[in-house]
Amino acid sequence: MTREYVLRCVLMLCFALLSANASNWLYLAKLSSVGSIRDEETCERLRGLIQRQVQICKRSVEVMDAVRRGAQLAIDECQYQFRNRRWNCSTLESMPVFGKVVTQGTREAAFVYAISAASVAFAVTRACSSGELEKCGCDHNVHGVSPEGFQWSGCSDNIAYGVAFSQSFVDVRERGKGQSSSRALMNLHNNEAGRKAILSHMRVECKCHGVSGSCEVKTCWKAMPPFRKVGNIIKEKFDGATEVEQRKVGSAKVLMPRNTQFKPHTDEDLVYLEPSPDFCDYDPRTPGMLGTVGRQCNRTSKAIDGCELMCCGRGFQTQEVEVVDRCSCKFHWCCYVKCKQCRRTVEVHTCR
């Protein structure tokens, strides 16, 4: 081995480690108090940011609270979308928040990157529309009368600002020296796919004005889809994600489907480089790999939430659990509702 070769390997390893931590900014979600990022000094102390993100933080301190909310939104949505899967998106109190699961180029990592990039774009755009930020407000490029005859007005969501902020803040970790590593290309692609899930599903919302709700005058504005919808779209992309590998086309390095029979992925699809582990067993050497012992499962389902697949064939235990519901509610004039408490037992199945 030549010295140069050794040096290059060391550099590549170094990049692999940096790249592996590319989602560390999600650690911002662990900051508890709102308005906790107030001045440039705070930016220096935030854990999980790389130097260039610290610089962006200093330049845009007022936006950082929206970024923090975005990180929380990403984690909550991931846990909702994966609640019935073996890996349920549980977080650690350390970095990276999803443990080792996202440091490999798997489908799960693809989802996490896409939902995170989308959540920052979403939260920043929301902050713009709500008038919370000086740097941005509503989108005033949308105005006048539409071809359909309604009046554009109100506050159109300034998605362009949110997307641009997400591109600079979230993607910065993948840019620079190691830009052409396959993992960096995978992350950049999935970040962009996540933001597209908002951009391609912008909607028009309207309000009618006129005598007793007649629609003589209609004013409309452009609005983002609810974040749950964005999560659903990205989850669908997760289910249909394409396994890719890096190829050289001319002098450029690009990601192409590993199976050449498959049609190439689009900008909105998710891509991954490595097959996922089975997530069946707890592994103390792999942070975040909790296994499925103790997870609830559905006895009758044949899908991944069913006891057969969820418990990886280990079997399950059944317990009778008493649940208390409100029932026989009566409305009393005026104005309260009185309910009885009903008890019923349900069977709960958990994996051995």
90 touching ligand NAG, by CB under 6 A:
yes
Q: Nearest distance from residue 25's CB to ligand NAG, in Å? A: 20
Q: Would strands 336-351 and 296-297 be described as parallel, antiparallel, or unpaired?
A: antiparallel
120 touching ligand NAG, by CB under 6 A:
no
Size of the site for ligand NAG (CB under 6 A): 10
Which tokens hold the place of 160?
Answer: 């362009």
Which tokens hold the place of 282?
Answer: 């707890």
CA gap 195, 295 in Å, rounded: 32
CB of 161 closer than 8 Å to CB of 128: yes
The partner residues of 320 in beta bridges, in order of sequence, read: 347
Q: Nearest distance from residue 101's CB to ligand NAG, in Å? A: 12
Q: Which is nearer to ligand NAG, 87 or 113 (CB)?
A: 87
298 touching ligand NAG, by CB under 6 A:
yes
Q: Would strands 271-272 and 316-332 be described as parallel, antiparallel, or unpaired?
A: unpaired
Determine which residue in the list 260, 300, 328, 341 makes contact with ligand NAG, applying CB under 6 A: 300
- Which range binds ligand NAG by CB under 6 A, 66-74, 211-219, 250-258, 298-306? 298-306
Q: Which is nearer to ligand NAG, 154 or 291 (CB)?
A: 291
CA gap 293, 36 in Å, rounded: 37
Residue 236: strand, helix, or coil: helix
79 touching ligand NAG, by CB under 6 A:
yes
Q: Would strands 217-223 and 336-351 be described as parallel, antiparallel, or unpaired?
A: unpaired
Q: Nearest distance from residue 195's CB to ligand NAG, in Å? A: 25
- Identity of the residue numbered 60: S
- Identity of the residue numbered 314: R
**Cβ neighbours of residue 196 under 8 Å, at least 6 residues apart?**
267, 268
295 touching ligand NAG, by CB under 6 A:
yes
Nearest to 289 by CA among 75, 84, 99: 99
Q: Nearest distance from residue 81's CB to ligand NAG, in Å? A: 11
- Which range binds ligand NAG by CB under 6 A, 228-236, 237-245, 246-254, 296-304? 296-304
Determine which residue in the list 177, 294, 326, 344 makes contact with ligand NAG, applying CB under 6 A: 294
CB of 21 closer than 8 Å to CB of 95: yes
- Which range binds ligand NAG by CB under 6 A, 133-141, 214-222, 258-266, 294-302? 294-302
CA gap 31, 96 in Å, rounded: 14
Q: Which is nearer to ligand NAG, 90 or 104 (CB)?
A: 90
CA gap 299, 311 in Å, rounded: 11
Reported in sequence order, the residue ranges of 94-145 that DSSP labels E, i.e. its strands, are none
Q: Which is nearer to ligand NAG, 219 or 301 (CB)?
A: 301
Whether the link from the prior residue into 96 is cis, omega within 30° of 0, is yes
290 touching ligand NAG, by CB under 6 A:
yes
CA gap 9, 3 in Å, rounded: 10
Rounded to 10 deg, the angle between the 182-199 and 3-20 helix axes is 30
Q: Which is nearer to ligand NAG, 25 or 87 (CB)?
A: 87
Q: Which is nearer to ligand NAG, 13 or 303 (CB)?
A: 303
The vertex-59 CA angle with 57 and 64, nearest 5°, equals 35
Q: Which is nearer to ligand NAG, 21 or 301 (CB)?
A: 301
86 touching ligand NAG, by CB under 6 A:
no
Q: Which is nearer to ligand NAG, 42 or 298 (CB)?
A: 298
Q: Which is nearer to ligand NAG, 79 or 146 (CB)?
A: 79
88 touching ligand NAG, by CB under 6 A:
yes
Q: Which is nearer to ligand NAG, 169 or 316 (CB)?
A: 316
Q: Nearest distance from residue 84's CB to ligand NAG, in Å? A: 8
Contact footprint for ligand NAG (CB under 6 A): 79, 88, 90, 290, 292, 294-295, 298, 300-301
